[in-house]
């Protein structure tokens, strides 16, 4: 097992893409995908939460040694990630957002093939490893089935089996639950939660619930910047007494936004449920609610969150 307390340290990482043109921009300005990112990620499950296009995949790919930042340093324990890519890859598991599979191959065959690539050349130990991973990801009964016939959730679980080859100490999972049905999502998250004790597992997602259910630490990223770096429970607790809610008619929302810091508005059986941030009682028919991680997320994205 080795040292349990190996952690990932990201310092001042910046990445600019030249000439990518954001929607609505007149000229092809340089886009700052990562803007001076600094994070310390301990062992366990770490959630990187942010909207699409926030810079999550760029950061994941950088950590996985698939692209270089313009500046900054990344250390995983003693390994200098940017200078010792091979050493990092030996202890890295990576499940990218677009995980392609070979439709005509069975799970068992393809996992065996990836095991060879990982350097597990002894046939007996390879058989042992693939068997235990297929059982762990709950695919053992479907091991002979062609991957083309797998559901989205089964494919994602197979991706985790591949990512877990060689017992990695750093596991990076990019948007894993997008497109899964609720039951598959639960199975997938349960699988991830079992991995988190002894290694650093980074879950990049735009789904707040993924982080709320699993992660002991988290960061919120938007436009290449870290807006919040906290433990989910502490971030939620810090908003206690500051989130208020009210059912309104949708057409009154613009007026309400003039008066209050509206952090979210959702349809509920034809009416609109509004959550606002306020340090004192707003009156006006608002009731206080217990905050949840979604309130933390929207408050942070609206620029109202300061760690108390």
**What pLDDT is attached to residue 19?**
66
Mean pLDDT of the chain: 89
Which range (6-10, 117-121, 124-128, 168-172) has the least confidence? 117-121
CA 33 – CA 38 distance, rounded (Å): 14
CA 275 – CA 264 distance, rounded (Å): 5
Residue 25: pLDDT band (50, 70, 90) is: low
- The larger pLDDT score, comparing residue 108 to residue 304, is at 108
Label residue 107 exposed, middle or buried (CB < 10 Å: 0-12, 13-18, 19+). buried
**What pLDDT is attached to residue 86?**
93
Evaluate if residue 22 carries a pLDDT over 60: no
Highest mean pLDDT pick, 34-38, 91-95, 251-255, 304-308: 34-38
pLDDT single digits (tens) 132-188: 999 999 999 999 999 999 988 898 899 999 999 988 999 999 988 888 888 888 888
Residue 20: pLDDT band (50, 70, 90) is: low
**What pLDDT is attached to residue 196?**
67
CATH superfamily of 1-100+168-231: P-loop containing nucleotide triphosphate hydrolases (3.40.50.300)
Task: Give residue limits of the domains in the chain.
Answer: 1-100+168-231, 102-149, 241-289
CA 91 – CA 294 distance, rounded (Å): 33
Number of Cβ within 10 Å of residue 239's Cβ equals 21
Residue 1: pLDDT band (50, 70, 90) is: very low
- Average pLDDT of 29-50? 92
pLDDT single digits (tens) 218-244: 999 999 999 999 999 999 999 999 999
What's 66's DSSP letter? S
| Coil, helix or strand at residue 182 | helix
Residue 101: pLDDT band (50, 70, 90) is: confident
Phi, psi values for residue 84, rounded to 5°? -120, 60
**Residue 16: both structure tokens together:** 């600019």
pLDDT single digits (tens) 258-295: 999 999 999 888 889 999 999 999 988 999 999 999 99
Evaluate if residue 81 carries a pLDDT over 60: yes
Q: Can you list the alpha helix ranges (DSSP code H) found in the chain?
A: 56-63, 85-90, 107-117, 123-136, 152-163, 182-195, 208-214, 232-238, 253-259, 293-301
């Amino acid at each position: 097992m080795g040292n349990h307390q190996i952690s990932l340290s990201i310092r001042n990482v910046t990445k600019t893409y030249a000439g990518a043109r954001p929607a609505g921009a007149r000229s092809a300005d340089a886009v700052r995908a990562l803007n001076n990112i600094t994070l310390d990620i301990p062992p366990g499950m770490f959630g990187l939460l942010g909207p699409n296009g926030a810079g999550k995949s760029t950061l994941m790919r950088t950590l996985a040694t698939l692209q270089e930042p313009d500046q900054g340093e990344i250390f995983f324990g003693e390994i200098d990630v940017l200078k010792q890519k091979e050493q990092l890859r030996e202890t890295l598991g990576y499940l990218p957002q677009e995980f392609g599979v070979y439709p005509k191959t069975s799970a068992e065959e393809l996992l065996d093939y990836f095991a060879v690539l990982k350097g597990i050349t002894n046939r007996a130990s390879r058989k042992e490893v693939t068997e235990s991973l297929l059982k762990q990801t709950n695919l053992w009964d479907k091991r002979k089935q062609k991957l083309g016939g797998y559901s989205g959730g089964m494919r994602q679980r197979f991706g985790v089996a591949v990512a877990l080859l060689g017992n990695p100490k750093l596991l990076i999972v990019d948007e894993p639950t997008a497109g899964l049905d609720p039951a598959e999502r639960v199975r997938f998250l349960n699988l991830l939660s079992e991995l988190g004790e002894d290694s650093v597992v980074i879950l990049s997602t735009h789904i707040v619930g993924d982080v709320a259910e699993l992660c002991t630490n988290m960061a919120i990223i938007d436009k290449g910047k870290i807006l919040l770096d906290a433990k989910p429970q502490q971030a939620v607790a810090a908003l206690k007494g500051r989130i208020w809610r009210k059912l309104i008619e949708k057409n009154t929302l613009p007026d309400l936004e003039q008066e209050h810091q509206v952090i979210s508005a959702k349809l509920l059986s034809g009416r609109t449920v509004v959550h606002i941030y306020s340090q004192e009682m707003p009156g006006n028919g608002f009731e206080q609610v217990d905050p949840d991680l979604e309130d933390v997320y929207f408050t942070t994205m609206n620029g109202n969150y300061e760690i108390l």
